[in-house]
Structure formats: structure tokens, C-alpha cells
Amino acid sequence: MHIKSAEFVMSNSDVDKCPKDRLPEYAFIGRSNVGKSSLINMLMLRKNLAKTSGRPGKTQLINHFLVNKNWYLVDLPGYGYARVSKSSKKTFQKFITDYFSKREQMILAFVLVDCRHEPQPIDLEFMTWLGENGIPFNIIFTKADKLKPMALERNLKIYTDKMLETWVEMPKYFVTSASNSAGRDELLHYIDELNSNINRTEI
């Protein structure tokens, strides 16, 4: 997929105010400080499309970006950041769950996971929630450049083994790096294929 255009459309915390058109949406979500904004900027070849911050928990709204005029990249708030107040966490969780339950045009959620760390309960619990609610998702492992190839391979195996304790098969996953654009072509090609299948189904 060639990115011809990527533009910010809106931010809000009310799912009912999200774009009214029926273009396919792909939601990006992960634990705070997983590198989501950097990944989005890398995918779109833009330095500051998604705001990056040294302070985790910066994304606190549903952000819609229109890509190539024919699909939305949706940047969802990070979850599990301790310094956000309990009341704020509840609000975030409410509109995240609202988003997934109400947005019928949401094709797939990409759950971002930092490949440097062992499987985190909060990520596993969130993916279990997605599975229990019938919400399709893939995993994006971020920050692959921070590990040597053998360490990366080992961590991916540990993650796969952990997932297979509760899942019949390992969800499809991508290994990425915002620093060297690893995984960019594979991920965008995959989204392109999904969009093509949607268009064929609608014909």
C-alpha cells in the first residue's frame, strides 16, 4: 500500500460522535508507553501525525485518521497507566469498550505489545476480553530494534507459548520497529488486502 494521504479527522471520548461514514476502521491500542504514536507515524511516513510523548498515557481520546481517503486508522487510549486517576481509568475503559461494541465498521484491532518484556497480565486480560466479545484482533510487537535477533526470537516463542495456554492458536502477529520501519510493508499490505476483500464482498 502506498500512503498517498493521511489526515487527522477528529478526537473525542463519545463513540456516538465518531465519523458517520461507513469506511473500514483499524483500531490501534496497547499498554501506555508501548510506542503506539511512533508506530503510527512510521506507518504513515509522518513525523507528528500522532503526538508522541515522553509521558505515558498521553493519548486519552479516540483519534480518527483518514488514510488514502478510504479507511480510518483509529488511535485508542493506552490502558494500564498507573498515574491516571481511577475515575479517569474508568472513563477511558468505558469509551474503549463502547468503541468496540458500537463501531460496526471496525474491521480489526491491533493490540500493541512491547517485544522486550515477558507477557504482561494486563495485555493478556485485554486480549481475552476481545476474544470473549468476538472482536477480531492481531498483535503488533513493537520496538524490535531494541533486541538482538536471538533474543527477539526467544521472546516471541515465550509469548506464543503463553498465548497457547488459553488460545487454540496464536493470533496473527507482526514484528515492527518505528526506528527502522521493520514490519511496515507487511502490515500495510495486510490492511490493503483486508480492504480489498471488503470491497469485493460489497460488490
H or E segment to which residue 174 belongs = strand 173-175
Question: Which domains, ranges and CATH numbers included, belong to the chain?
Answer: 6-202 (3.40.50.300)
pLDDT for 85-124, tens place per residue?
555 555 557 778 889 999 999 999 999 999 999 999 989 9
Q: What is the pLDDT of residue 95?
A: 78
Contact by Cβ (8 Å): 82, 55: no
Q: What is the pLDDT of residue 194?
A: 97
Q: How far apart are CA 160 and CA 157, in angstroms?
A: 5
Q: What is the pLDDT of residue 13?
A: 84
Half-sphere exposure of 185 (CA within 13 A, CB side): 2
Q: What is the pLDDT of residue 185?
A: 98
Burial class (CB in 10 A: 0-12, 13-18, 19+), 77: buried
Enter the pTM of the model.
0.90
Question: Which amino acid is present at 118?
Answer: E
Query: Closest by alpha carbon to 195, among 26, 2, 65, 9?
Result: 26
* 4, 111, 170, 187 from 154: Cα distances, Å: 37, 20, 15, 22
Q: What is the pLDDT of residue 103?
A: 94
Q: How far apart are CA 162 and CA 150, in angstroms?
A: 18
Spell out where 89-155 has E strands: 106-114, 137-142
Residue by residue, DSSP assigns 4-72 as --EEEEEEES-GGGS--S---EEEEEEBTTSSHHHHHHHHHT-SSSSPP-SSTT---SEEEEEETTTEE
Distance of CA 126 to the CA centre of its chain: 12
Segments in the chain below pLDDT 50: 53-58, 82, 84, 203
Looking only at the bridges linking them, the beta strands covering 6-12 and 25-30 are unpaired
| b/e 131-156 (16+ beta carbons within 10 angstroms → b) | eeeebebebbbbbbeebeeeebeebb
Q: What is the pLDDT of residue 80?
A: 64
